[in-house]
A and B are shown apart, each in its own frame.
Chain A
Amino acid sequence: MMLEVQDLKKYFPVRGGVMMRVIGHVKAVDGVSISIEKGEVFGLVGESGSGKTTLGRTVLKLTKPTGGRIIFDGRDITDLSGKDLIPLRREMQIVFQDPYKALHPRKRVKDIVGEPLIIHEGTSDMEVRRRVAEMLKLVGLNVEHMDRYPHEFSGGQRQRIVIARALILRPKFMVLDEPTSALDVSVQAKILNLLSDLKEQFDLTFLLISHNLAVVQHMSNRIGVMYLGKLMEVASSQELFEKPLHPYTKALISAIPVPDPKLAKKKRKMTLRGEIPSPLHPPSGCRFHTRCPFAKEICEREEPPLREVEPGHWVACHFWDELREVGVLNA
C-alpha cells in the first residue's frame, strides 16, 4: 500500500466578531478514509467546497490534519513536523493547476528544476545541469530550454517544467491537483499522455484531483466522489461510470457534456436542483439530502455511513439498494 488515510479530518477555524474569536469551523475534510495501492491512479472528483484539494494537501502534510491518520508507504506520518518532514518531501510531490503561478518568474528553468537537487542532495552545479538536462528531455523539452525564463514558455511547456521539477528527486507518489484545467484541449491531451508515460517509467502512484470527470475517468483505476468534505462513493473507474450507486455520482456523470450529439440525445439526464450548500453550514444527516431527488425523511436525520456494498464498491446512501432495484441511476 502506498497511502492509507484513515478517518482524516481537516477543519479550518472561522473567526469573527470584534475579538476575532473562533466562531465556527469549516469542515473541509470530515472523516475520509481511502487507500491507494502502489502503482495505482486514484481519482478524486468533486465540485467547489467538496474538500478534494484540502485532502490532497493534507495527505502530503502541507497542512496539519485535525484528526485521523496518514500512513505513507508503511510509515505513520501523521505527527511528523518540521525537519522530520524533509526526507518525506523527496518521496511525495505535488503538481498544481496553474503553471503560470507555480514557477518563479525571475529564475531560469535550470534553477527551478534543479533546486530540489541542491536542497536535498547538495548536488554540484555540473551534476545539476546534467540531471536537469536529462529530466527536461524526459518531459518533452530540450536542453536549450535550460537557461530560459518561465515567461518564454507556453502553458503546456510550463506544466512540463512543473512536472520536471516534481520528478527530479524521483518521488514515489504524486498528487496531481487539476493538472490540466488551465490548458487547452489539444495541450491537455499531451500532458495527460506524458503523465501516463512517466508513471510507467518511474513506477509512480498518483492521486489525481479534478472536477473534470472525463479526465479522471481516462486516467484513474479507482475513483472517489466527494461532496462537502465526505466521500459519497468509491469504486473502480468502470463500475463508477457504468453502475453508479449514489444519486450524486449519477448527477455528476449526467452533467458532463458528451462529445457526441447522437449519444447526447439518448443520455438520461438528472439535473440537480439548488445550489451547493456552504461548507460552513453543511446540511444535517446526509449532506446531499437538500439536492437529492430521492431524499426521504431519514436522510435529513441520519448520516449514512460509507459501506462496501459490493467487493470494492463503497457507497454512502440510505437507499442505494432500492434505487438500484428501480433502476433510476442506470445510464
Chain B
Amino acid sequence: MSDDGKGENLLEIRDLYVQFHTLRGIVKAIDGVNLEVGHGEVLGLVGETGSGKTVTGLSILRLLEQNAEITGGEIIFQGRDLLKLPLKEILKIRGRDISMIFQEPKAALNPVMQVGDQVAESFLVHEEISKKEARERVLGIFRRVGLPDPERVYKSYPHELSGGMAQRVVISMALALKPKLLIADEPTSALDVTIQAQIMDLFRELINEMGTSVIYITHDMALAAEISDRIAVMYAGRIVEVADTETIFENPLHPYTQGLLKSIPKPGYRGKLFSMEGEIPPLINSPPGCRFHPRCPKRFEPCDKEVPKLMEVEPRHKVACFLFGGASK
C-alpha cells in the first residue's frame, strides 16, 4: 500500500472493516477498505447493490445503524481518527467539516418545519450569529443554488417542493458551512434526467467554486465519469480498482471493472450486451479468497484461496487482482 505522503490527503481510510449483526448471521459488509481523498478532489465511489459504497460513506460520519459494528481500521481526517473521537466531537464535524447528501431529498428534510429554517439551523448550531443574519445567509445560498423565488421557498414545507427543488435545498444545507468534504450518496438517482443534468451542473460549479473535496457515491459509471477526477470501484465489500477517471475507462484492469463497463448499453451499439457470469453473491456467505472469483473469466489457482491486495501497478492505478501481482498478506 503506497501512502501518497502525509498531509497530501484530506481523508484516509485504512483497513476498514464493518460488520452487520443480522438475524441470519454476521454480514461482512466492508472487508478491508483502503481509500484516500485528496484536497479538492472528486472521488467517484462506484459499485452495484451490496458493494458497500454507502456503508463506507456512512462509516466516515459514524452514521451506521445500531446493528453495525466497525471492527477494525482507521479513518483519518485532518490528522484525527474519526473512529476514535468521542461522539461530541463527531457532532461538531458533521455539517461543518464533513456533510452528506442522500438520494431521497425529502427524507432528509423535516416535514413539519419550513425548509429555510432547517438550513438556517446549521448556521445557528455551528456559528454565533443572529437569526436574522442566518436568514439572510440562507436566502443568499438559495439564490446561489438556483432556487426560484427564495423568499417563498424559505417559507415552504418539504411536501410543497418538487424533487429537484428539494435536492437544491438539501445541497444548500450541506454546503452552507463550506465543508471540506462532501459525501454525496446517489444524489440524483431519484430525479428525472433533465433535472439530474441541472443538479450535476450546479454540483460541478459549487465544488469548483468552494474547492470542496467530494466522495460521489453512485451505481452509474457514466455519471461518475462526468464528475469525478478519480474512480474507485467496489465489489462485495472491497475496493477492486482505483484510478484516474480516464484510466478506468481506457485501461480497466480488474476483470470486474472490465465486465461492468462492457455491460452498459452504449450509443450506436445494438448487438448483444456483455453479461458477466453469475450474480452478485449474498454477503452473508461471501466466497472465500477474491470475492469476485466465482464470476471471474480469468480466475486461476490462488483466487479462491487468498485475498488479493490492492496494489499500485502503474502510477496512480491500483488493482486488487492476482493477475497483476496482488500477492497476499
Selected contact of B194 from candidates A237, A260, A276, CB within 8 Å? A276
Give the Cβ gap from A270 to chain B, nearest Cβ, in Å: 9
Which of B35-43, B68-76, B106-114, B215-223 participates in binding chain A?
A: B215-223
Known: A186-B275, A252-B193, A262-B246. A257 touches B260 (CB 8 A): no
Residues on A with beta carbons closer than 8 Å to the beta carbon of B249: 259-262
Known: A257-B225, A259-B225. A186 touches B263 (CB 8 A): yes
Q: Are A264 and B226 touching (Cβ within 8 A)? A: yes
Give the Cβ gap from A150 to chain B, nearest Cβ, in Å: 16
Q: Are B265 and A272 touching (Cβ within 8 A)? A: no
Which of A4-12, A104-112, A208-216 participates in binding chain B?
A: A208-216
Selected contact of A271 from candidates B201, B261, B269, CB within 8 Å? B201
The answer for the CA separation of A154 and B50 in the assembled complex, in Å, is 12
Residues on B with beta carbons closer than 8 Å to the beta carbon of A193: 272-273, 275
The answer for the CA separation of A63 and B199 in the assembled complex, in Å, is 35
Q: Are A189 and B275 touching (Cβ within 8 A)? A: yes
Q: Is B267 an interface residue (CB 8 A)?
A: yes
Interface centre among B49, B260, B263 (most CB of A within 10 A): B263
Say which size band chain B's interface belongs to: 35 or more
Q: Are B270 and A259 touching (Cβ within 8 A)? A: no
Residues on A with beta carbons closer than 8 Å to the beta carbon of B246: 261-262
Residues on A with beta carbons closer than 8 Å to the beta carbon of B148: 274
Selected contact of A254 from candidates B162, B197, B270, B274, CB within 8 Å? B197
Selected contact of A275 from candidates B162, B193, B219, CB within 8 Å? B162
Q: Are B193 and A47 touching (Cβ within 8 A)? A: yes
Q: Is B266 an interface residue (CB 8 A)?
A: yes
The answer for the CA separation of A186 and B279 in the assembled complex, in Å, is 8
Q: Are A189 and B263 touching (Cβ within 8 A)? A: yes
Selected contact of B260 from candidates A185, A260, A261, CB within 8 Å? A185
Q: Are A275 and B275 touching (Cβ within 8 A)? A: no
Q: Is A322 an interface residue (CB 8 A)?
A: no
Residues on B with beta carbons closer than 8 Å to the beta carbon of A255: 193-194, 196-197
Q: Is B302 an interface residue (CB 8 A)?
A: no
Interface string of B268-285 (1 = CB under 8 A from A): 111011111001100000
Q: Are B192 and A214 touching (Cβ within 8 A)? A: no
Q: Is A266 an interface residue (CB 8 A)?
A: no
Q: Are B194 and A251 touching (Cβ within 8 A)? A: yes
Known: A257-B225, A275-B162. A215 touches B195 (CB 8 A): no
Residues on B with beta carbons closer than 8 Å to the beta carbon of A217: 265, 267
The answer for the CA separation of A193 and B222 in the assembled complex, in Å, is 21
Give the Cβ gap from A159 to chain B, nearest Cβ, in Å: 12
5 tightest A-B CB contacts, nearest first:
A257-B222, A218-B265, A47-B192, A255-B197, A189-B263
Enumerate chain B interface residues (CB-CB to A < 8 A): 48-49, 148, 162, 164-165, 192-198, 200-201, 219-223, 225-226, 245-246, 249, 259-261, 263-270, 272-276, 279-280
